[in-house]
């Protein structure tokens, strides 16, 4: 069974952390409707959606991806780079504990889940403003004994590694090469984002379908021409909080 853990939109999402965007007014009702449609999309793709209650005091808590990375063998609970996000961890740990053995990143290490891209037995970790060298070291110590290879990836001009690169097929990545060097990914094929849409690399692959933001029309057309099966979702309000399609869920096989 494929599980998708989500969490409701905080009524205080306008107080979210921002790094690369100017703060704009967020319509909370519209953001909640976008999130409901996102959850329906996950359900339509075969996920059993487990939606956690909204956390009014945690503005960024809808972005559950940053709190954990789920491997076949365990769930890695992160220690987010933004201090305001660390209280999100206990409830995510409770939800994931039903499915996996839990391990934790410990301070002074910091890791945001949005910086961790798992490609089969290869783990790429973005070295960003939210994920530090000690966090990368701890990930390596936890998963390399399980047979994973960990590669640290410098990134620039974006919040997370998954802002710069996303998997759209078993052998294919969608990438913004001005934000991340693609050579570390070896023999993977690439589809480049349209240069007019630098934030368009985020993509959520579920089975053989990519969940993708409808607003990146030019890059979406490139995916379609490449034969990538896509379903689109609207993230206009959530996008004001630096959200992408991977941010709002933790998807894994139980």
Give catalytic status of residue 35 as yes or no. Answer: no
Contact (CB, 8 A) for 54 and 61: yes
**Total structural domains in the chain?**
1
pLDDT cut 70: percent of the chain above it: 100
Distance CA 12, CA 242 (A): 15
Give the tens place of pLDDT for each residue, 57-80.
Answer: 999 999 999 999 999 999 999 999
Average pLDDT over residues 10-37: 95
Average pLDDT over residues 189-194: 98
| Cα 26 → chain centroid | 21
pLDDT at site 21: 86
Distance CA 35, CA 29 (A): 10
Give the tens place of pLDDT for each residue, 78-102.
Answer: 999 999 999 999 999 999 999 999 9
Instruction: Assess whether pLDDT exceeds 90 at residue 118.
Output: yes
Q: Which of 41, 47, 247, 248 is catalytic?
A: 247
Tokens coding 198: 């630098």
| CATH number for 213 | 3.75.10.10
Give catalytic status of residue 247 as yes or no. Answer: yes
Instruction: Assess whether pLDDT exceeds 90 at residue 156.
Output: no
Q: Which of 41, 47, 160, 248 is catalytic?
A: 160
Tokens coding 98: 């039903």
Q: Domain range spanning residue 37?
A: 2-253
Its pTM surpasses 0.95? yes
Average pLDDT over residues 143-155: 97
């Amino acid at each position: 069974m494929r599980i998708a853990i989500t969490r409701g939109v905080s009524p205080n999402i306008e107080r979210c952390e921002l790094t690369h965007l100017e703060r704009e007014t967020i319509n909370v009702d519209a953001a909640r409707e976008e999130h409901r449609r996102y959850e329906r999309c996950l359900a339509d793709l075969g996920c059993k959606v487990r939606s956690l209650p909204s956390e009014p005091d945690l503005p960024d808590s809808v972005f559950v991806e940053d709190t954990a990375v789920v491997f076949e063998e365990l769930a890695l609970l992160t220690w987010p780079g933004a201090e305001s996000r660390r209280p999100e961890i206990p409830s995510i740990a409770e939800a994931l504990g039903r499915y996996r053995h839990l391990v934790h990143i410990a301070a002074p290490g910091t890791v945001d889940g949005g910086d961790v891209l798992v490609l089969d037995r290869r783990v790429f970790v973005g070295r960003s403003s939210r994920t530090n060298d000690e966090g990368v070291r701890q990930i390596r110590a936890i998963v390399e004994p399980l047979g994973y290879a960990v590669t640290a990836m410098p990134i620039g001009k974006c919040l997370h590694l998954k802002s710069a690169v996303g998997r759209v097929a078993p052998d294919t990545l969608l990438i913004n090469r001005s934000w991340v060097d693609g050579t570390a990914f070896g023999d993977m094929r690439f589809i480049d984002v349209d240069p007019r849409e630098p934030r368009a690399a985020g993509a959520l692959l579920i089975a053989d379908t990519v969940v993708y933001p409808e607003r990146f029309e030019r890059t979406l057309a490139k995916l379609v021409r490449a034969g990538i099966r896509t379903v689109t979702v609207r993230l206009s309000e959530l996008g004001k909080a630096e959200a992408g399609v991977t941010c709002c869920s933790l998807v894994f096989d139980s």
